[in-house]
Amino acid sequence: MRAAIIYFSQTGNTERIAEAICLGLNSQHLPADLIPLSKAKPTDLARYDFLGLGHPVFFWKPPLNVRRFINSLPSLEGQRGFVFCTWGSHKSSALLVTAKMLSQRGLQILGTFDARGFDSYPIYNKMGLGFGHPDEKELEAARGFGADLARKVHDDETMRVALPRFIFHLLPILSPDWLTSSRLFPKARLTQDACDRCGECAEVCPTGNIEMTPYPLLGEDCLGCYRCAEVCPLGALHVNWRWYHLWWIAFPYGWFFSILDRWRLRSRQAVQTGR
């Protein structure tokens, strides 16, 4: 028996969780291959008995490229697997969406796992949401999840799939792809005189939306991750957030989770010290 863990990770959060789950599987004698989503071939998955799929949460749901990958999969009848995610503010119902899509392809879902990650979205990253996550405690939990999964697989058992509260089923509906990718948020713009045509932006784009002609040409197939602007070494690709019309929503929303982070940390410290 062999497993494959496919993951989409831009800043390393999801990759670290994938590696930890892999260690847990290996500890129970279930070998696993780690495969970045960009290198995963749907036709190659038939040779695996056990599949895992992990991703960050974008706008309260799985990223568009992850959903496209799932839709490209052949029948997974007879195979078992799991899903996992990392999130900055809230996981919403992202795991449930992913699990349901894979189930429709025939995969039997044995369990789900989620962990906090540093929120790299430009509006929130300067607020430090999830800074330091995933931490060692979460990585240990991921290793434990992997070990439990392997035992369940060997014993032919199932695990409980946690369901989010009803309100979090509504959030993905309120953020359709056509709205979040092009209309609701500002686009990255290029200052051609500042560009040295290094191509880093095109390399990191998860949808292949940037074509070097010879300068970066951005198409319409955008996830809204802004990774292209984040990695641009000269700032030639940039996003104007200054007078962004949603700052008044994003700012208090972000600070709410920042305050919640501090409260959770203090509560954890109080429990550890016996207060």
> What digits encode the pLDDT tens for the residues 140-193?
999 999 999 999 888 776 655 555 555 555 666 666 666 666 566 788 899 999
- 181 in the same domain as 113: no
CA distances from 133 to 118, 197, 267 (A): 5, 34, 17
| pTM reported for the whole predicted model | 0.79
Single out the residue in 143, 168, 193 at which a domain terminates.
168
Block residue for tokens 């695990």: 159
- For the segment 232-246, the average pLDDT, to the nearest whole number, is 79
CATH code at position 133: 3.40.50.360
- 30 in the same domain as 108: yes
CATH code at position 209: 3.30.70.20
Single out the residue in 110, 143, 168 at which a domain terminates.
168
pLDDT digits (tens, 9 = 90+) for 98-134: 998 999 999 999 999 999 887 666 666 655 565 667 8
CA distances from 132 to 180, 211, 250, 272, 273 (A): 27, 34, 21, 19, 21
Token pair in block for residue 170? 């509504």
Block residue for tokens 């119902």: 93
- 10 in the same domain as 116: yes
Measured distance CA(118)–CA(258) in Å, rounded: 11
For the chain, what is the domain count?
A: 3
- Confidence tier at 41 by pLDDT (50, 70, 90): very high
**Structural domain of residue 259, as residue ranges?**
247-273
